[in-house]
Structure 1
Amino acid sequence: MQAGSIQVLPGRVLEAGVATNASQLLAAQRLRYDVFSAEYGADLDAHAGLDSDRFDDHCIHFIVRDVESSKVVATSRLLLDRDITETDGFYSETEFELAALKATPGSFAELGRTCVHPDYRRTSALSQLWSAVYACLLENDVDYLIGCASISMIDGGHRAWMVAQQLQQHHLVEPQFVVQPRRELPHIAFSSGRVRAVAVPPLIRIYLKLGAQVCGRPCWDPSFRCADLLMLLRVGGLGERHARRFRRS
């Protein structure tokens, strides 16, 4: 594991980097299963409590570990466009029509399956995860980062609809980057009332702080029982303030 460390609580150190062996990948897949099953009630085709799919073998997997316990407490994965011939496209293409977006000059990568253990969400785990991802984006000369950001629909989808409307009003991409969802949200999610400000999920807040934009309407993901928004981040557009924040020292 290629890592950087930071003291976050007395006696606790977190370490972030790339998973380099099968046991680390299994720990990441186990964390994914635990978080997505508990928080979204996801219907995962899991074996032995693991969340895995056909994309995993072709992704770069990032993990954050608690050094004292060696426990994996956060994870994400990155799929570079040079590797999508092996997967028949990005994961997000199962949810959105990306042909026009992928025709844009430049290199793309997709971030996905990001999650943090509930006990570590008030630590630097997510920031450290992004630090490792950012270093990899620079190393591979990635121009655009895309990824599905999920919103729970445990309330029937009303909050997800509000968040989606809010983001489309204030953070929508230019017309040439707008994508179409393959599955619209269930009718029950739609509200006839006025769109009001609601709390945006933490991962989406991180995207927005880095200058990411939403690529249009959300897609209904019945397996994960959530609404997914496709986010687009111009890697070269990261301000120096954010670059310093996520760059490894």
Structure 2
Amino acid sequence: MKNDLPTGNWQWSAPSPRRYQSFVALSPQTVEAACRLRYRVFAEEMGARLAGDGLDHDRFDPYCDHLVVHDQREDRIVGTTRLLSDAAARRSGGFYSQQEFDLDTVLTLEGRFLEVGRTCIDPDCRGGAVLSTLWSGLARFAIERGFDYLMGCASIPPGPGGFAVKAFYRRLTPEQQGPQWLNVQSLRPVPDYLRCERDDCGVPPLLQTYLRLGAWVCGDPYWDEDFNCMDVFILLPLKHLKARYSRRFIRHPAEIRGHA
């Protein structure tokens, strides 16, 4: 992995002294390492029904940028998320989220969209440092490349009794639910027999991060049978991120060197 440090579109002007570093994977080997991590988390840990080759991949992966977190001490990939731009979505036949939600209204918004998906952290490294490093790289990528909105599907696992749909939405503040007119339609709602009243799981850490950054949950959830979870569609205007967290996530421009 050491030879895959960012030498392309953007990078730090000097190697980071921190243990964890985020960058966009440039080599097939690092993309494969990210897909192996995804398989370990989604299939082996969470029980998702994926192809049995030890890699999580689908038709969208070739069109995505794969943002990874590299553990410089152990020389391995410990976090990843994939990024699908609006331009790449046109080449791939649409966004992944469009398989789960009707996004016609959302996509009428003026500006550029970046879809975030397949985010996971190695189970041995789920403290705040890795997630913060991943978000730092994501924020820089999105803002420096001129996107206006982050969007994607945030997954919520079931509790012992099923999916506590109503309890989840009761946890949200009005500001976290966003404008009513932006609510999307789920293409496969959670069936009644899988719903429950008691919330045993709460809000997953990744979704908590989205909400703290100013994301909206737009509409009802989708039931992802293969991943055994319910997905909510989230939309994050980048102006929210800039206003709240630019100092925390974005280094001064002088600390980043661009390359043609």
TM-score by length of 1: 0.89
2:192 is equivalent to residue 187 of structure 1? yes
2:258 corresponds to which residue? none
2:110 is equivalent to residue 117 of structure 1? no
Task: Report the secondary structure of 1:238's partner residue.
Answer: helix
* Structure 2: segments with no counterpart, 5+ residues: 256-260
73-82 or 117-126: which moved more?
Answer: 117-126
- Tell me the amino acid that sits aligned with residue 82 of structure 1: A
Shift of 1:157: 2.4
- Contact 1:220–1:228 (CA<8 Å) still a contact in 2? yes
> How much is the aligned-residue C-alpha RMSD, in angstroms?
2.1
2:232 corresponds to which residue? 229
1:238 corresponds to which residue? 241
- Contact 1:153–1:160 (CA<8 Å) still a contact in 2? no
Aligned residues: percent identity? 40
Distance in 1, Cα, partners of 2:65 & 2:183 = 27
Match 2:49 to one of 39, 43, 48: 43
1:10 corresponds to which residue? none
Matches within 5 A, 1:118-197: 118-153=123-158, 155-159=160-164, 161-167=166-172, 171-191=176-196, 193=197
1:207 corresponds to which residue? 210
* Structure 1: segments with no counterpart, 5+ residues: 8-12
Shift of 1:156: 4.5
Structure 1 residues 29, 198: CA separation in 2 closer, same or farther (over 3 Å shift)? closer
Deviations 1:176-210 (A, max 9, x none): 2110100011212333x5x7796310001100110
- Contact 1:76–1:114 (CA<8 Å) still a contact in 2? yes
Distance in 1, Cα, partners of 2:128 & 2:241 = 23
Shift of 1:20: 0.8
Task: Report the secondary structure of 2:151's partner residue.
Answer: strand
Aligned residues: 241
